[in-house]
Structure 1
Amino acid sequence: MAEIDGNPLKIVDITSVDKSTAEELYDAATSQGFLFVEGHEFSQEEIDTVFQLSKEFFELPHSYKSKYPIGSMNHGYADFGGENLDPKGQKKGDPKEALNICLLNFLTGLSSQEIPDWFTEDPKRLAIITTTVKKFYALSMKILKLLAIGLKIEDSNEIKGEDWFSSRYEATKVSGSTFRFLHYPGQKSLNPEAVIRAGAHTDYGSVTLLFQQENQEGLEIYSPVSKQWVAVPFVAANTEKFPGMGPPIVVNIGDLLSYWTAGLLKSTIHRVKFPAKVQATGQDRYSIVFFSHPNDEALLEAVPSEVVRSIKGRGANKDTVAITAKEHLDSRLAATYGWKK
């Protein structure tokens, strides 16, 4: 496990799926809820390509993007101010735009829903989407297996403990997993008084994977350790150890994984707030995100682990009737977008 000056998060090399790596990942997930992982198999070239694709999409006319509005399935284009991640703390929606691609088949990397034809009319653009989606899914499954090992999930007659999570993330079944492009316009170009670009929130799913770019910082976490807001910097790739590979990817635990583990794994509050140097330059911020969710019908029941079982009255341990992953997601989306449940 590596740490870098000025970086509050641990960096874990996940090249190997073994007990030692699992313990490092588990330690970060139970203390901070956020970490960096390296050894993720995304090349620098792949990351640059998907960021360029995102930038080109957001540069398209607003009249075109708005033809694909986000709907109740969380799929489509979210316009400026259309999303409020902190409805209790903010009156206005967040000054950002996004494209969500949901209802994904992770064997093909394709959505069952319509996506902007700007992607589908060009095989190269579509291939960038499908390849990235499949790699994000594979990476999320690797992280979940390591967490299962760290939690010491018990074997059953049906399944090994290390596969407990992955059995609830079948590649072809419907889930709330979302591949997302995000664009935060520079502070000088849109709502200059709005320092907060994405309101304080926790993520709804199990694991979130995030790529950010150098000189486009802004992510902050409310540290469970220091009880203060701390900035998450850009961390450059370790090219000596991983030639050609991109920078470490930010990983954070979401509400479902925290609930499943009775709060043992931390779903940490975070936000996007442009730092002073970005405010001064007016630099736009782009990020590429994958939100991993279990299959819709997966029950949010307590993880069969002694360390989870020992926590009383929290998360799945306190409820007598388990809800499904879809029921949880529908409730959170209704609050975010102002939809009626």
Structure 2
Amino acid sequence: MTGVAKIPVIDISNDNQDQARVAKELVEAAIEHGFIYIKNTGKDIPVEDVDAAFELARKLFKETPVEEKQACTIQKNNRGWSAMHYETLDPKNQRVGDFKEAFNFGEPSQQGHLQQPIPPTIRSAEPFISRFHTLCHHLSLRLNTLLGQGLFVSPPDFFTSAHLRENGASGTILRLLYYPAPSSIAAEEKGDGDVRAGAHSDYGSMTLLFRLKGQAGLEIQTREGNWVPVPVCPPGTETDPAPPILVNIGDLLSYWTNGLLRSTVHRVVFPSAAGSTVEGETGGEERYSIAYFCHPVGTMKLEPVPSERVRAFGEEQNGKGVINGERKMLTADEHLNMRLQASYLKLYEDEKKD
């Protein structure tokens, strides 16, 4: 593995800039990399709210009794707590499940209530979680609008409309993640080749990822099949108020565009002397991240959108728009359920025993 990922940094905060140019930049980055850095100026999501979300994650994973988290164990609606090794993102290649904990918060109700069990230790944070969820939702709508414009989709608001809460329920999730320090893991528990989070593409339309400065681990797979690290702060953003928000294209936008927009495979690894590193980052400590998995209304069909560029790309691929080698006509919910069953083996195996 050599070098680092060369992902473009795009600023969408200035409403007076040429929106057509910004839309084109977003589309080209989504085609080439499947990942895009969005400068976090605080306009869409205040920096203090990002800081508060990470403080909440620390309280959840470090101060909340395990009994409280177990009472909120993740269910088939993809909401709740998953313990260490409970999720296996790459079941074909992983010896054990992911070395991480996670807590998934589904979309809040119209009244701002979370529609799932919440550990008492963090229950007072429910209004904040709901607000942060909504801030991420609004940013994802802006990005979907720009992608639709950049692809000249007809109608241009197709992606946006597909994600409006008032149009139906979705699988959208706000996820807090915790990866323990490698030194805290027993030697007999971790083997060679184990990873913190297995190689995968994301299940929804797009993901907004928030990370902390100095915490390494995320890698993406290039078109050539190589793994390269993704810096938390790419060149030019080191002095920004907060690291840029890392946006990646998920399976559904790839389906909708005949595979033109790239749903890139990525993973989180342990530090390794053999792997390249990013200056100023380390994988030797505990790691936190926050992911907002944007999903469309669950009944939306994953058929190619009306766009000349999407149509032409499909023809270039001999009519085989693909995501990681295959193309099936599904709804958004059907695709999500298929991926969840593969990742949460124990949850679905236990059902079969009942």
TM-score bracket, normalised by the shorter chain, equals 0.7 to 0.9
1:83 aligns with 2:87: yes
Letter in 2 for 1:299: K
1:214 aligns with 2:213: yes
Change (3 A) 1:281 1:321: closer
Letter in 2 for 1:301: E
Instruction: State the match for 1:12 in structure 2.
Output: 10
The answer to whether the 8 Å contact 2:214/2:282 transfers is: no
TM-score, structure 1 normalization: 0.87
1:24 aligns with 2:25: yes
The 2-side partners of 1:28 and 1:267 are apart by 12
Instruction: State the match for 1:270 in structure 2.
Output: 266
3-state secondary structure, aligned to 2:337: helix
Instruction: State the match for 2:195 in structure 1.
Output: 196
Instruction: State the match for 1:53 in structure 2.
Output: 56
Instruction: State the match for 1:158 in structure 2.
Output: none
The answer to whether the 8 Å contact 1:302/1:316 transfers is: no
Q: How does 1:1-341 map onto structure 2 within 5 Å?
A: 8-16=6-14, 18-38=19-39, 39=41, 41-59=44-62, 60-105=64-109, 107-120=110-123, 122=124, 125-155=125-155, 161=156, 163-172=157-166, 173-190=168-185, 191-193=189-191, 195-224=194-223, 226-235=224-233, 238=237, 245-276=241-272, 282-310=284-312, 311-312=314-315, 313-315=319-321, 322-338=329-345, 339=348
Query: Deviation at 1:171?
Result: 1.6
Change (3 A) 1:239 1:8: closer
3-state secondary structure, aligned to 1:309: helix
Greater CA drift, 72-81 or 280-289:
280-289
Query: Deviation at 1:280?
Result: 8.0
Letter in 1 for 2:320: R
Query: Deviation at 1:167?
Result: 1.1
Letter in 2 for 1:234: V
- 1:210-244 deviations in Å (ceiling 9; x for gaps): 001012111000022x531110111178598x7xx
The answer to whether the 8 Å contact 1:221/1:270 transfers is: yes
The 2-side partners of 1:315 and 1:176 are apart by 23
Query: Deviation at 1:110?
Result: 3.4
Change (3 A) 1:321 1:221: closer
Paired residues, what number?
323
Change (3 A) 1:101 1:31: same
The answer to whether the 8 Å contact 1:316/1:322 transfers is: no
Name the % identity: 39
Structure 2 segments unaligned to the other structure (5+ residues) = none
The 1-side partners of 2:115 and 2:163 are apart by 17
Structure 1 segments unaligned to the other structure (5+ residues) = 156-160
Letter in 2 for 1:255: D
Letter in 2 for 1:129: I
